[in-house]
Structure 1
Amino acid sequence: MPGSGKANPSCCGCCHAFWVFTPRPFVEYAEARSPMPGVHIMVSVSTAVVAMALCQVQEFTGLGYDVPCFGVWYPAGTASSAMPLGALGTGFVDITSAGTFRDSTVENNWLKPRPVPAGCGFSLLIGGQRADLFPNMKPTPGLRFWGHYPAADMEFGNTFGEIEVYARAYAPLIPHDYELSGMPAAFFRFVMMNRGQSPVAAEIAFQWEAAHAGETTQNPAAIEAISNGRQWKGENGSYAVAASGEGWEITPGSPGANTIRVQSVRTLAAGEKAGVVFALAWYFPAWTSSDGEELRHRYADAYPDAAGVMKAVLPRAAEIEKRIIAWQQPIYLSPVPGLLKDAIINGLYILPRNSWWTSDGRFFQSESFTGCPITETFVCRFYGSFPLAAFFPECEKATMRSIAAAQKPDGEIPFGFGTPAGSRSPYYHVQHPIVSPEFALVTWRNAALWNDMDYLKEMYPKVQAALRFAMTLDKDGDGVVNEDPGSETGFPANQYYDVWPWWGTSAYTGGIWLAALRAGEEMAKRMEDAAFAAEMRGWYDRALKSYDDKLWTGSYYRLYNDPEHKRMSATSLTNALCGQWFAYAAGLGEILPKACIRDHIEAVLRWNVAATPYGAVNGVRPDGTVDETFPDHSAVITIGEVWNFCAMAVHAGRVREALQVFTASYGNILLLQRTPWNIPWSLDRHTGAIKWGINYYSNTCVWTLLHAIDPATCQRLAKNDLTLSVPAAAAF
C-alpha cells in the first residue's frame, strides 16, 4: 500500500518519538483510482471530489504505534456519526469529530440514547489560548479527529500557537480480557509539547453533569470526594471523574448540585512535553427488560459504585491504551487494503451500542437498539457474531447456550428473545426456514474455531434436533428446505429479506441449508456418529441435485423457483450464495460446484454491481434492470450482503474484483456519508445515503473479508497472539 509513514519534513527530529506525523493523502481517490494498486474504484469523480473536500484517506504513524496506521482525519465536526466510548454491555457515551460528547446510554436507556447535558466536556486554557469542547458549541478551528474504535485521536493544529496539543479518548475493549472489557469507563489522555522559547501555563478541566440521572429521584444526590476526583451519587447510580498526571496540580470540585469537575494545572517549560489522563466512570447497576425481567450488569458484581470503578481503572489507564494499540497493530500490519483495516477496527463499535452483559452470565446483542430493536435476532448474529466468537468466546458461548436452552421440543430454534428489548420471550416461526440451519452452522463455526470438543458435545444434540426440524420444512420432498411465507400474499416473507416474498426453492435459503447439512456431517464425524454423518451426506447429495435442477440457469443461480405453482424469479441476488459464503468462512470449502460459483460471481459483477456506484444492488434482472417488485429490499444496497459477497468472491479467486466492490461500498460510508460509527442495514442505490436501519449487528461480517484475504492474522488474533511480523506482499 502506498504511503510513507515518515515524519513531516518540516518537523524537528525529536517529534518522531512523540507526535502523529502529517500524512500523505490518497488524492488518487478523486482520480478514480483506489489506495490499492491496480484496483479501480466505482465511485464517480464528482462525488469523490466532494468527499475529498471534507476529508482525506491517509496512511500515517499514530501516537504509540510501531506500524503505519490507516484512516480518516475528519476536520472538526464533519463526521456524521459519533464514536461510542464503551465496551461489552456497559452502555456508552459517544464522542463527535468535534471532540464533544453527544449521546449516552450509560443509564440503561438502551432504546433512546439521550444527549448528554450541556455541562459535560473539557475546557483547555494553554498559553493564553482557550478551547471549549462542550455539546452544541462551535467546533474548534483546526481540530482533526481520527476514530479507531475503541479509541479516537484529536489533533488541535495551531489552536494553541507554539504549544502542540494532542488528545486520545478510549474505552477498555481488550480482546480476551473479560475483566477490562466489562469496565464502565472511558479515558481521555492529553499530551502537549511546548515548541516555544518561554514557559507557558496549561490548564485542562473535565466536567460532568448528571442532570438525567437526577430527574426522577426523590432524594437529593450526594457529591463525594474520591482520590483526585469527585463522585456524584444518586438513587439509581453514580458517576465519577478523576485525573492523574505527574507534575500536574489536580483540583477536584463540584460547581453545581449535579456537576462534578476535576482540573489539572501545570507550567510547561520551553521544549517540555507533558501528559495527563482524565477518566469518567459510571455505575447504573440495574434495569428492567421490556418483557419485565429485572436485570443487573455484570460489572455491578465487581464494584460498589462509580468510585469503585474509578479506583480500579484509573491506575490501569496506560496499560489499557497500550493493549488497545497491541491488538490493533497486527491489523494495521496486515497486507489487506487500508480501507478494509479501517472497517475492521471501527466495525467493532457495534459492541457497546448493542450489547448487554448480565450478572448471571448472559450476553445478548440487539439487532439494533435504535434501528430494529430485537434481542439476538439469529439471522443477524449469523452474519455479525464472527468477531465475538474470535475475541470473546465465553460471551459467544453464553449467547449460544441461551439460544439452545430456548429450543422447542420439536427442535425449532428461536428467532430472537423479544422486542424491543426482551430477555426471556423467545419467539418462533419467524424466518424459520433459515434460523435452525443457521444455528447448526454457527455451532460448527465455533467448535472448529475453538477446537473445542466439550462445546461440540454439549451442543450436538441441539444441532441434531435443529436440523431435523428444518427437514420438516422440505415440503416437496426434494431435499431442500422450502420458502414458507406467512400468507398467500407472501407476508411475512420469513427469510432475511422479510418484506420481499420468495416461493418454492430459493438460492439464498437453499444454499444455507446445503451448508448446514455439510456442517452437520462434519460435526457428526467429529462425534464419531457415522449414522448421522451418512444421513447428512444423503440429504446433501439429494438437495444439491434439486438445487441445481431448479435454480441453475446455465450462467447463474436464479432467485427462486416454485414449479408447483408456476412461480419463478430470474432476478440475480447479490448474496444469493450466502450459504457458500458461510461455508468458506467456517472452513467447509465448496458446497456448490466451483464453476457455478465462478459464473454466478461474474453475473453479480455484471448486473448487481453495475447497478450502483456504491457496492451492489440486492436484486437485478438479467437485462440489467433493477428488481423493483419490493423496492425496500429488492432495489436497495444491503451492506452486509455486499460484504459477504466480497468475502465469498475472494475465496473463489476473484480478489481484485471483490476489493473493487468493497472499496466502492466502504469508501461511500467513510468518505461520502462520513458515518463509520453508524452503519445501517441498507443504502439508497442512487445516492449511497442511509435508507433503512441504523447501527446494525450484522455488519461485523466484514471480518470474514479480512479472514478471506489474511487468515493468518485472524488466527493469531483469535489466539491472542499479538506478535508483529512482516506480512507477505499482497497480490491485489
Structure 2
Amino acid sequence: MYKITLFNELYFLVAGGTVWIDSDLSSSLPEDSDLPLHNSTCNSTVPLIGSSPPDFDDKENVGKFLYLEGVEYFMWCTYDVHFYASFALLDLFPKIELSIQRDFARAVLREDRTRVRFLADGTWGTRKVIGAVPHDLGAHDPWHELNAYNIHDTSRWKDLNPKFVLQVYRDFAATDDMSFGKDVWPAVCTAMEYIEQFDRDGDCMIENDGFPDQTYDAWTVLGVSAYCGCLWLAALQAAAAMARSLGHDDYADRCMVKFAKAKHVFEAKLWNGSYFNYDSGTSYSSRSIQADQLAGQWYTASSGLPPLFDEDRIKCTLQKIFDYNVMRVKGGRIGAVNGMHPNGKVDETCMQSREIWTGVTYSLAATMLLHGMEDQAFTTAQGIFLAGWSEEGYGYWFQTPEAWTIDGHYRSLIYMRPLAIWAMQHVLSPPRAILEAPKVNTMERAYVSPGALQFLQDSVRKITPKSGCF
C-alpha cells in the first residue's frame, strides 16, 4: 500500500497544474534602484528597499518552475504548503527544487508597496514587505506580482520565514551545493532578522498574535505556540549550521545563544508532561494536542541536525498524538485529526482543528519514522490510503484533497500538500550527502561571555515593515 500511494501521489506534479519554462522566457524584475546595503552579519550585500534582488545565473539550464497549491486555490508555489510537498521535488528533481528556493530567496529581498485589502478583517496593507517570505509566487503575473493570497496579511505570519530557512538548509545539506548556499545566504539572514521582531518580550522566543497567523489560517493561536515556536527553534539551529558551513562562525554562535534561551522558554511554557500544548494562551483549545506540533523537529531530523528536545520527550509526544489524534478517530483508518482535546474529544474550535489534513498526516508519519516508531508511522499513513485510495474509502483517487472530516466531507480536491508522503521516502532513503555529513553538535560552540552578543540587535540592521500593521 505504501508504494502504491507513494507513486500515485506524484500525479499532482503533472495533473495539478504545472508550468516549466526556459529561464530566458521570464523577464527580469524591474529595477528601481541599484544602491546596495552592506549587512555586516552576513558579510554579504543585500539591496535597499525598492531595488532588484540579486539574480542567480541558471548555470545548468534548469529553467523556471511553478506548480499550483491546488485547482481550487489558484496560487503558484504556495510556500507554507510547499514546506510539506517539497520532499518530492528534492528527492526526484533536486535542481528544480533549488530553482524554486532561489525564486523565494529573490522574493524575500523584494518589496511591493501596492496597497491591498485583507479579507479576514477588512484592513489594508502592503502587498509584499521586504524581509517577509511571500505566501506564494503570485497568480496572474507569477514571479513579479507576489502574494495572490489576500485573506490575512502574511507579512505577520510566524511560520513562513522559519520554513524558508529550514527548507533552504535541508536542500543545502541534501545536495551539498555550495553555490546554492552562497546564493541564498543573504536572504536567509534577512528572513531571520525579520522574524525576530515577533519576539515581543525579548525572551528569544517568537509569539503569535491572536489570529490565524500561520498555515492553519482559520485556527487562532496566541502567545508561544507549539507549531510556530518549534519551527523557530529549528530555524535557529538550521541557520547556525548553514552559517558554519559558509564560514560565518560568529553568526552561528549568535543563533545558538538565542536557541538555548528560546528552547528553555518553549519547554517551560508549553511542555505539560506528555506533549506540548497548542499555545500558551488561556482558550479552550490552548491545551489541545496538535498533530503537527513537531514540524520543526521533523525538519531538523530530516536534515541530519541534532534533535531539538530530549528523545524521550519527542517519542512521548509522538505516542500521545498517535494514541489520540490517530487511533481515537475511526480506529486510525482516516489519518490524524489536526486537534484533539486531552479528554479524547476532537477539537471543534474551527473548521481546521477538526479536519484531517492528508499532507500533515504523511509528515507526522515521517517524523515517527525518524524516531524509530515504524509501526505507528505506517499505521498513521495507512489511514490516508484507506480513506483516500482504497476501494472502501471515499474515492479520491488521483484527486487527493487537502482535508477531510470524520464524516467524510472533503475540502479542496487535487491539492499540493499530500506530496508529503515523499518525506517518508526521504527517511527510508536519505540523500547521500546527509548520510555522509559529519555529525556536529551545533551547540558545542554556543558559549559566549555574558552580554557579549545580542542576537541580531546591536550590529545588524533592523528591518521593520512599512505597512503600518505593527
**TM-score bin (small chain):** 0.7 to 0.9
Distance 1:583 1:653, change over 3 A: same
Residue in 1 that maps onto 2:254: 535
Contact 1:571/1:621 (<8 A) preserved: yes
**1:674 deviation in Å?**
3.2
The one of 64, 76, 85 aligned to 1:362: 64
Alignment of 1:273-312 (within 5 A): none
Deviations 1:575-603 (A, max 9, x none): 11111111122222411221111111121
Matched, 1:376 2:77: yes
Residue in 1 that maps onto 2:321: 604
Deviations 1:80-103 (A, max 9, x none): xxxxxxxxxxxxxxxxxxxxxxxx
The one of 389, 399, 403 aligned to 1:678: 399
Distance 1:656 1:421, change over 3 A: farther
Residue in 2 that maps onto 1:548: 267
Residue in 2 that maps onto 1:513: 232
What secondary structure does 2:262 align onto?
Answer: helix
Residue in 1 that maps onto 2:216: 497
In the aligned structure 2, how far is the partner of 1:576 from the partner of 1:554?
15
In the aligned structure 2, how far is the partner of 1:541 from the partner of 1:676?
45
Larger helix proportion, structure 1 or 2? 2
**1:624 deviation in Å?**
0.4
**1:605 deviation in Å?**
1.8
Larger strand proportion, structure 1 or 2? 1
Residue in 2 that maps onto 1:461: 186
Matched, 1:707 2:426: yes
What secondary structure does 2:389 align onto?
Answer: helix
In the aligned structure 1, how far is the partner of 2:74 from the partner of 2:91?
25
Residue in 1 that maps onto 2:7: 345
Aligned residues: 365
Residue type of the alignment partner of 1:684: T
Residue in 2 that maps onto 1:120: none
Distance 1:659 1:376, change over 3 A: same
The one of 126, 129, 136 aligned to 1:416: 136
In the aligned structure 2, how far is the partner of 1:429 from the partner of 1:664?
32
**1:423 deviation in Å?**
4.2
Alignment of 1:32-111 (within 5 A): none
Contact 2:87/2:426 (<8 A) preserved: no
Deviations 1:182-213 (A, max 9, x none): xxxxxxxxxxxxxxxxxxxxxxxxxxxxxxxx
Contact 1:644/1:702 (<8 A) preserved: yes
What secondary structure does 2:383 align onto?
Answer: helix
In the aligned structure 2, how far is the partner of 1:500 from the partner of 1:580?
21
**1:455 deviation in Å?**
0.8
TM value normalised by structure 2: 0.74
Residue in 2 that maps onto 1:574: 291
**1:394 deviation in Å?**
2.4
In the aligned structure 1, how far is the partner of 2:106 from the partner of 2:299?
24
Answer with 517-526 or 354-363: which moved more.
354-363
Alignment of 1:642-721 (within 5 A): 642-671=361-390, 672-686=393-407, 689-708=408-427, 710-711=428-429
Residue in 2 that maps onto 1:134: none
Residue type of the alignment partner of 1:349: Y
Residue in 2 that maps onto 1:437: 162
Residue type of the alignment partner of 2:198: L
- Amino-acid identity (%): 26
Distance 1:537 1:383, change over 3 A: same
Matched, 1:629 2:349: yes
Contact 2:104/2:133 (<8 A) preserved: yes
Alignment of 1:385-396 (within 5 A): 385-396=86-97
**1:690 deviation in Å?**
4.8
Residue in 2 that maps onto 1:484: 209
**1:498 deviation in Å?**
0.2
Contact 1:680/1:694 (<8 A) preserved: yes
In the aligned structure 1, how far is the partner of 2:155 from the partner of 2:347?
24
Contact 2:83/2:167 (<8 A) preserved: yes
Residue in 1 that maps onto 2:198: 473
Contact 2:131/2:191 (<8 A) preserved: yes
Contact 1:365/1:375 (<8 A) preserved: yes
In the aligned structure 2, how far is the partner of 1:453 from the partner of 1:643?
30
**1:430 deviation in Å?**
4.7
Contact 1:415/1:432 (<8 A) preserved: no
Contact 1:376/1:416 (<8 A) preserved: yes
Residue in 2 that maps onto 1:594: 311
Contact 2:132/2:155 (<8 A) preserved: no
Contact 1:375/1:423 (<8 A) preserved: no
What secondary structure does 1:363 align onto?
Answer: strand
Distance 1:421 1:355, change over 3 A: farther
What secondary structure does 1:503 align onto?
Answer: strand
In the aligned structure 1, how far is the partner of 2:287 from the partner of 2:76?
34
In the aligned structure 2, how far is the partner of 1:511 from the partner of 1:548?
10
CA RMSD of aligned residues (A): 2.1
Gaps of 5+ in 1: 1-338, 719-732
In the aligned structure 2, how far is the partner of 1:610 from the partner of 1:431?
35
**1:365 deviation in Å?**
1.4
**1:524 deviation in Å?**
0.7
Alignment of 1:243-254 (within 5 A): none
Contact 2:277/2:287 (<8 A) preserved: yes
**1:431 deviation in Å?**
6.0
Distance 1:466 1:457, change over 3 A: same
In the aligned structure 1, how far is the partner of 2:144 from the partner of 2:7?
32
In the aligned structure 1, how far is the partner of 2:372 from the partner of 2:140?
41
Deviations 1:662-689 (A, max 9, x none): 1122122111123331111101213xx3
In the aligned structure 1, how far is the partner of 2:3 from the partner of 2:420?
14
In the aligned structure 2, how far is the partner of 1:431 from the partner of 1:373?
22
Distance 1:515 1:558, change over 3 A: same
Residue type of the alignment partner of 1:617: V
**1:391 deviation in Å?**
2.2
Higher normalized contact order (CA 8 Å, seq sep 6+, divided by chain length): 2
Contact 2:224/2:269 (<8 A) preserved: yes
Q: Rg bigger for which structure?
A: 1
Distance 1:690 1:587, change over 3 A: farther
Alignment of 1:194-213 (within 5 A): none
**1:635 deviation in Å?**
0.7
In the aligned structure 2, how far is the partner of 1:420 from the partner of 1:575?
32
Residue type of the alignment partner of 2:401: P
In the aligned structure 1, how far is the partner of 2:285 from the partner of 2:409?
31
Contact 2:109/2:190 (<8 A) preserved: no
Alignment of 1:212-223 (within 5 A): none
Gaps of 5+ in 2: 24-62, 111-129, 148-152, 436-470
**1:422 deviation in Å?**
4.1
In the aligned structure 2, how far is the partner of 1:541 from the partner of 1:354?
43
In the aligned structure 2, how far is the partner of 1:633 from the partner of 1:430?
21
In the aligned structure 2, how far is the partner of 1:390 from the partner of 1:706?
9
Distance 1:548 1:535, change over 3 A: same
